[in-house]
Amino acid sequence: MNNTTLTTSALVELDKQHFTHPWTVFDVYQQQGALPIAEAKGCYITDSNGKRYLDAVGGLWCTNIGLGRTEMADAIAEQCRQMAFANPFVDMTNIPATQLAAKLAELAPGDLNHTIFTCGGSTAVDSSYRLIQYYQNCRGKHDKKHIISRNNSYHGSTYLSMSIGGKAGDHPVEFDFISDFIHHISCPNFYRAAAGMSEAEYLQQLLDELEQKILTIGPDKVAAFYAEPIFGAGGVIVPPAGYHQATWAICKKYDVLYVSDEVVTSFGRLGHWFASWDVFGIKPDIITTAKGITSGYQPLGACIYSDRIHQVISEPGHGRCFAHGFTYSGHPVACAAALKNIEIIEREQLLQRVLDIGPYFQQQMKTLQDLPIVGQVRGQQLMVCVENVRDKVSKSLFDEELDIGKRIADHAEDLGLIVRPIVHLNVMSPPLTITKDEVDFIVRTLRQ
C-alpha cells in the first residue's frame, strides 16, 4: 500500500484502526483522528491535503537543524549503502559510532568521556540507571540504589524511566510504577510557590528538601539524583537561579551521582551543545541525551558518563563486564546522521544563532502575558511555555474538561501553526533555524 494511493480520509481511518499513538486519548482520537503529515522542510510541515504549518514544536523538541535537508538524506543513504548495520558487541565496532563517541567526549563537559549508545531518550535513562547500579556494586556499595527525582519531571516512557519521571498525568491508577527505590521531591516552580515567598527563600526550601530526603533515606542508600536542566514536558520550568549548582553541591557532599537529563536541552536548544555546564555551571556525572543529537533524522540516544565511573567499572583484574546493550547500540546509520547533524550545527554556527534569536523569541512571547488567560510565559532561548489560567491573580486553572491547551493548539493548527498542548499549557521548541519573521508569526497567531 502506498500513501499516494490513499485518500486522506481513508488514511485517517486506517490509522485509527491500526496505529496506537503515544498518549492517545482514545475517545477524542476516535472522533478527530490524526492529521496525516506528508512532507517536512525546515520549520514547516505539510499535511496530505497540501496545507502548510509552521511547526513551532520542532517535531517533538527534536528537529533542531530543521527537516528536509538533502545533505542529511545523502549521509544516511550513503551509510545505508556502505554498511546499514554492524554488530555492536565488543569484538566489532563501526566507524561512525567510534567517531561519534569521540566527538561527544569532546563536546560534553568535564570528564564525560564515555558513551553508551541507545535507541532514544528513555533507553538512555534506563541505561544510566543500570550503569549506576553496576558502579555502586563494583564499589561494594550494595545498598546505594535509591534515586531521587522531581515531581513533574519527564524522563521517558519505559517502565523505569517513567517511574523516575514525576508527572502526575503520566502516573494514572491504571499503571503500576516502581516505587520502592524511587523518591520524588518538589518541582522548582517559583510561579507556583507559596504567596509572599521570596525566590531566595523558595530556593532554600527546595535545597533543604533535597538534603532532608537524602538524610531520611540514608546517604549510604541514595545512588543518584536525576534532573532535567529545564523541565521539558513538565512545562518548561526554569528553576530559580543557583538551584542546579546548589543541588549539585549537595549531591557531591553525600556521594550521590548527579544525572543531568539533557534529552531536550542539548544540541543547541539552549544555545550550547550541553546546558549543564555552559548554561548552569555544573559538571554532572552522567548526561543523558537524544532528540537533537540527530535532529530527528534517525532514532538515537546516548548516556555519556565520567572517567570516574569508567575507572571503577573497568578496573583491571576483576574480569568485569557491564552486561548491558542493545542490538542497535551505536547503529551506524543513526551515528552517521548524528555526525552530519553536528557538522551542520558547527558549520552554520547554529549555537550562536540560538543565542542571537532566543532572547527575541522569549521577549516577543512574553508580550502575550497581557492576554486575560495567560498566567505566565516562561522559558529560555528556544524553549517556551504559555501557562493558561482562568484567573491571573489566584492562578487558578480552567476545568480539565475544557482542555484549554488542546483547544488553543487546535485553533492555532487551523491558522497554520503547530503548538503542543500539555493539559493547560502550550509548549514550543522550534528548530534552531527559526527566523524573526517566523517568531512574529507564532506570536501573532497565538494572540489571535
Where along the sequence are the contacts to ligand PLP (CB under 6 A)? 120-122, 125, 154-157, 228, 232-233, 261, 263-264, 290, 301
* Beta carbon nearer to ligand PLP, 154 or 441: 154
Residue with smaller CB distance to ligand PLP, 214 or 263: 263
- Which residues, 6+ apart, have CB-to-CB distance to 136 below 8 Å? 142, 144, 145, 223
Q: What is the CA 262 to chain-centroid distance, rounded?
A: 6
CB atoms < 10 A from the CB of 59, how many?
20
Q: Which is nearer to ligand PLP, 122 or 433 (CB)?
A: 122
DSSP element (H, E) containing 383: strand 383-388
Nearer to ligand PLP, 228 or 438 (CB): 228
| Residue placing its CB nearer to ligand PLP in the complex, 337 or 443 | 337
Say how far residue 130 (Cα) sits from the centre of its chain: 20
Report, in Å, the least distance between residue 297 CB and ligand PLP.
Answer: 14
The least distance separating ligand PLP from the CB of residue 258, rounded to whole angstroms, comes to 15
Give the E-state strand segments of 228-373 in sequence order. Answer: 257-261, 286-289, 301-306
Give the nearest residue (CB) to ligand PLP: 121
Q: Closest separation between CB of residue 41 and ligand PLP, Å? A: 23
Beta strands in 152-297 (DSSP E): 182-185, 222-227, 257-261, 286-289
In the complex, least distance from residue 54 CB atom to ligand PLP, rounded to whole angstroms: 21
Distance CA 193, CA 209 (A): 14
User: Cβ closer to ligand PLP: 206 or 422?
Assistant: 422
Tell me if residue 234 falls in helix, strand or coil.
Answer: coil
CB of 127 to ligand PLP, least distance (A): 11
Nearest residue to 354 (alpha-carbon basis) of 417, 423, 431: 431
Q: Which of 331, 280, 432, 335 is CA-nearest to residue 103?
A: 335
Task: State the nearest-atom distance from the C-beta of 291 to ligand PLP, in Å.
Answer: 6
